């Protein structure tokens, strides 16, 4: 494995971070899948975000002590830094939740990841909105994310939408790694123009809603 990929957290480290977020985030705070979606959207989007911008969106309680703070901040930094490396080496996989089904089984859920991704888009809403109005290609690239976001309730629509069937849901899930890579490439090749950046000081907001994430289940990577 390329040395860059050693940035990726181990399963034990993901468990550690997952447990911390479950214990310390409020009911509407992101869990590990939501944090991963948020960081992914900021990483592949039109403009990078500094840690002092996204950390307040992730951490909602003070640390117990300096050692705990250093440890959690280190894990979050590595999670963030691993995303572009995994995309570059075509190893990116979204962190997904696992939820109980009506028949007592379990299933993968992109709800938390989509809520996080939607929030990441909203942190750069003006740049996304301006480009989406001008370039249909970007909306097409977002297709799988939009479909899953609508199904999970992270994206509001004006009209009722039928829930995705299992095959369609799984199909969109399978497209997420390629979609994330394509979005990163899109913004790399077509970065925001000076005019778009100048216009980004408004109060525009894409119609993404970020309701409380599902608290049950666990992450899967």
What pLDDT, in 10s, does the model give residues 17-31?
999 999 998 777 899
- What's the token pair of residue 212? 């409380």
Flag the least confident range among 4-8, 49-53, 119-123: 4-8
Q: Is residue 125 part of a domain?
A: yes
Q: Is residue 217 part of a domain?
A: no
Using the CB atoms, write b or e for 32-46: b if 16+ within 10 Å.
Answer: bbbbbbbbbbbbbbb
Q: Mean of the pLDDT values across residues 73-84?
A: 97
Please report, for the domain that includes residue 188, its CATH number: 1.20.120
pLDDT of residue 218: 47
Q: Is residue 218 part of a domain?
A: no
Give the E-state strand segments of the chain in sequence order.
Answer: 96-100, 106-109, 218-220
- What's the token pair of residue 103? 């028949």
Inform me whether the pLDDT recorded for 202 exceeds 70. Answer: no
Higher-confidence position of 220 and 1? 220
Phi, psi of 169 (to 5 degrees): -60, -50
Inform me whether the pLDDT recorded for 63 exceeds 80. Answer: yes
Model pTM above 0.85: yes
**22: how many CB neighbours lie within 10 A of its CB?**
14
Q: Is residue 39 part of a domain?
A: yes
Q: How many CA atoms lie within 13 A of 67 on its CB side?
A: 0
pLDDT of residue 184: 98
**220: how many CB neighbours lie within 10 A of its CB?**
16
pLDDT of residue 47: 94
Q: Is residue 216 part of a domain?
A: no
pLDDT of residue 102: 74
Higher-confidence position of 61 and 73? 73
Inform me whether the pLDDT recorded for 210 exceeds 60. Answer: no
Residue 131 makes CB contacts below 8 A (sequence gap 6+) with 46, 138, 190, 192, 196
SS3 61: coil
- Label residue 213 by pLDDT band (50, 70, 90): very low
Q: Is residue 215 part of a domain?
A: no
Structurally, the chain folds into a number of domains equal to 1
Percentage above 90 pLDDT, the chain = 70
Domain that holds residue 199: 3-210
Higher-confidence position of 103 and 147? 147
Flag the least confident range among 6-20, 30-44, 69-83: 6-20
Q: Mean of the pLDDT values across residues 96-114?
A: 86
Q: Is residue 51 part of a domain?
A: yes
Q: Is residue 56 part of a domain?
A: yes
């Amino acid at each position: 494995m390329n040395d860059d990929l050693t940035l990726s957290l181990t399963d034990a480290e993901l468990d550690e971070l997952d447990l911390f977020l479950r214990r310390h985030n409020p009911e509407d705070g992101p869990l590990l899948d939501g944090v991963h979606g948020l960081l992914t959207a900021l990483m592949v989007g039109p403009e990078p975000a500094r840690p002092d911008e996204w950390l307040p969106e992730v951490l909602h309680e003070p640390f117990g002590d300096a050692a705990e703070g250093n440890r959690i901040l280190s894990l979050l930094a590595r999670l963030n830094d691993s995303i572009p490396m995994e995309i570059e080496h075509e190893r990116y996989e979204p962190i997904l939740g696992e939820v109980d089904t009506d028949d007592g089984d379990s299933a993968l859920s992109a709800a938390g990841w989509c809520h996080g991704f939607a929030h990441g888009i909203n942190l750069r809403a003006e740049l996304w909105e301006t480009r989406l109005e001008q370039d249909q290609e970007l909306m097409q690239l977002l297709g799988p994310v939009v479909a899953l976001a609508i199904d999970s309730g992270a994206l509001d629509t004006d009209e009722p939408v039928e829930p995705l069937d299992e095959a369609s849901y799984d199909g969109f899930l399978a497209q997420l790694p390629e979609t994330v890579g394509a979005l990163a490439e899109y913004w790399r090749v077509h970065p925001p123009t000076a005019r778009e950046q100048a216009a980004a000081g408004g109060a525009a907001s894409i119609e993404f809603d970020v309701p409380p994430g599902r608290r049950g289940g666990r992450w899967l990577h």
